[in-house]
Amino acid sequence: IIVPCPVCENTSGKGLFYFKMQKAFASLAKTYRPLYHKKKYQEEKSMIITLKDGSKKEYAQAMSIIDIARDISEGLARVACAGEVNGETEDLRTVIDKDCELNILTAKDEAGLAALRHTASHVMAQAIKRLYPSAKLAIGPSIADGFYYDIDFETPITAEDLEKIEAEMKKIIKEALPLERFTLPREEALALMKEKEEPYKVELIEDLPEGEEISFYKQGEFTDLCAGPHLMNTKEVGKAYKLTSIAGAYWRGNEHNKMLTRIYATAFAKKEELEAYLTMIEEAKKRDHRKLGKELGLFMMHEAGPGFPFFLPKGMVLKNTLLEYWREIHKKAGYVEISTPVILNRSLWETSGHWDHYKDSMYTTVIDDQDYAIKPMNCPGGVLVYASEPRSYRDLPLRMGELGLVHRHEKSGQLHGLMRVRCFTQDDAHIFMTPEQIKDEIKGVAQLIDSVYKLFGFKYHVELSTRPEDSMGSDEDWELATEGLRGALNDLGLDYVVNEGDGAFYGPKIDFHLTDSIGRTWQCGTIQLDMQLPQRFELEYTGADGEKHRPIMIHRVAFGSIERFIGILIEHFAGAFPTWLAPVQVKVLPISDKHLEYGQKVLDTLNAAGIRAEIDTRAEKIGYKIREAQMQKIPYMLVVGAKEEEENLVSVRSRFAGDEGQKSLDEFVASVTEEIATRARREVVKEEN
């Protein structure tokens, strides 16, 4: 019989230790053999792999990540997408030959799902090359919601062609082609891509540094320049993929280069996840702020100023209502409001560091033979206000808020409604403080941002971003600033993730990523701790000891860009804003011309109470008027006819509950006034079947 080794439990005869013996000697072997096995095993082992759960695996030889996954569990190997070795994402084919920490990534992990999608992009590219052999491939990365590939087609394709590409992808996936990774020296890599007539790949290789490892992945007849990681074969991509849209994209994002065709797509591990995503996409299309902004008369764009939004009367009501709320909460929180110039001279931007770090995104001009720049940020102006008079420690913290208009040179291909514009209002605030006040001030800002997001029904998560490569300041300053932010988050008990190297060039930051009603995330609020600008502008305050000291500075926004936040709100609420925020809160609907006079009386009463109201005086049927008001997402409709006029009543229809019956005008005014004053959000009542 085969008796398993008591140390390694191997019975196969192929492992390190095993032995065959008569049953009678089995117990004797268990007693004495372990001492030999244990010694021999320790002599031959060469590495220890520490897994995510803290358990350890010992191996006597180098092992690939996929083989380690198989050793742990065949089930794990089947769903493995990539590996994380000492915090770095690696391909499943990567061979490990020394001690390390290893996490096997599946599609449930962000990096694992990215590997699945990256493989799907190669499958899509292979399908395209089969269908359109003359097509030239550019780049095809995974992105937040899926993947894309930029392609130079000889004959332009249309959305109708996507189904044909999907069908070919299905064949490739069924073929279960193994993905094989190989590397080539630079000259051989160039020769290969020239032979395959892929000019964009040639250009990418030529731009790689000398000595850089140039890797490729091959699947069947298809080979692509790629760093990976990838799944083991095409079958593992599965059935949950979809080509979603076609767009134009300049090669390398440069508008002077050729326009390529970008095919967007997505992929998931399960069909249910794909279906949920596609449902969300359809819902997002209905909520598109550009479409609703036009239908609701909120804003417009014009070719006279691409990227520069025009706010229409109703849009200005919405914007001003948000700004009134902003002013109210900041006054309560101890902020003073300032306003600084839109154009300032070059020397200011050189001192601030923006001229060196941000010049490509700034609009510049010349005035009286001097260089000037339109401000892309409000902070240098706020610094000048602080420096305009002597400051004492008794003045600190000094919280200065500014609704400042800023301009940034965004590329035309990146413009997107209100979400990405060239001119926007930033709800900035700059707080000047002593080092001892850092933690409390950050906590105060975080609590203010929390209250804003809760008002609109947003959930959010927090990221702490640390020092980037392109930064200024000493290691000591960055350490103090980063630990100040980290300490405040810990004190508040906020869960957060660390985003290494993504801080501003002048300091670390906390970013708030809010989640809207259909599950999309948006980065809006931010808190940035800055010890550099106070040094650059030689800011001072007189301390309790009578000596001069340098203040610490916080940059922070709650909304971020007011314009972008409005775009987010339009899509979050699908244009159906809470009553306090709605441009038109009540629509008065006379049943006929006979009741116009009473309708006007109702309108006057509403306006006198501070309620934003309109009257529909058209000679249309009441059903038509109601539908029109519903299309405009108006919270309340007041139908008035003979009975309402006789008894000073209004028949109330709401966006929330439909027909709410008759109420006295005074009762309705009181309830809506209370709803507006408290900024309440009424939920839509769903009728039971």
Instruction: Give the catalytic positions in this structure.
Output: 379, 408, 426, 428, 430, 509, 555
Cα dist from 392 to 133, 291, 335, 386, 485, whole Å: 73, 52, 17, 11, 24
Closest-CA residue to 375 (of 387, 388, 358): 358
Cβ 526 vs Cβ 560: under 8 Å: yes
Alpha-carbon gap, residue 482 to 286, rounded angstroms: 41
Per DSSP, the residues of 184-235 read: E-HHHHHHHHHHTT-HHHHHHHHTSPTT--EEEEEETTEEEE------SBGG
- Pairing outcome for strands 586-590 and 613-615: parallel
| DSSP class of 64 | E
Alpha-carbon gap, residue 506 to 482, rounded angstroms: 12
Beta bridge pairs of residue 183: 215
Q: List the structure tokens of 204.
A: 């990418």
Alpha-carbon gap, residue 310 to 289, rounded angstroms: 14
- CA 621: distance to chain centroid? 46
| DSSP class of 541 | E
Q: CA torsion 482→337→444→408, rounded to 10°?
A: -40
Alpha-carbon gap, residue 297 to 101, rounded angstroms: 56
Give me the amino acid identity at 577.
F
- Pairing outcome for strands 521-530 and 552-561: antiparallel
Alpha-carbon gap, residue 290 to 300, rounded angstroms: 8
Cα dist from 603 to 8, 587, 596, 614, 632, whole Å: 86, 8, 10, 7, 18
Alpha-carbon gap, residue 671 to 635, rounded angstroms: 13
Q: CA torsion 52→53→54→55, rounded to 10°?
A: -100
Environment class of residue 469 by beta-carbon count within 10 Å: exposed (0-12), middle (13-18) or buried (19+)? exposed
Measured in degrees and rounded to the nearest 5, phi and psi for residue 71 equal -65, -35
Closest-CA residue to 379 (of 352, 398, 351): 352
Cβ 336 vs Cβ 400: under 8 Å: yes
Environment class of residue 410 by beta-carbon count within 10 Å: exposed (0-12), middle (13-18) or buried (19+)? middle
Measured in degrees and rounded to the nearest 5, phi and psi for residue 188 equal -70, -35
Q: List the structure tokens of 459.
A: 């959930």
Residues in the chain: 689
Closest-CA residue to 276 (of 629, 520, 515, 640): 520
- The helix/strand/coil state of 143 is strand
Buried b / exposed e across 500-516, counting CB within 10 Å, b at 16+?
eeebbbbbbbbbbbbeb
Cβ 101 vs Cβ 88: under 8 Å: no
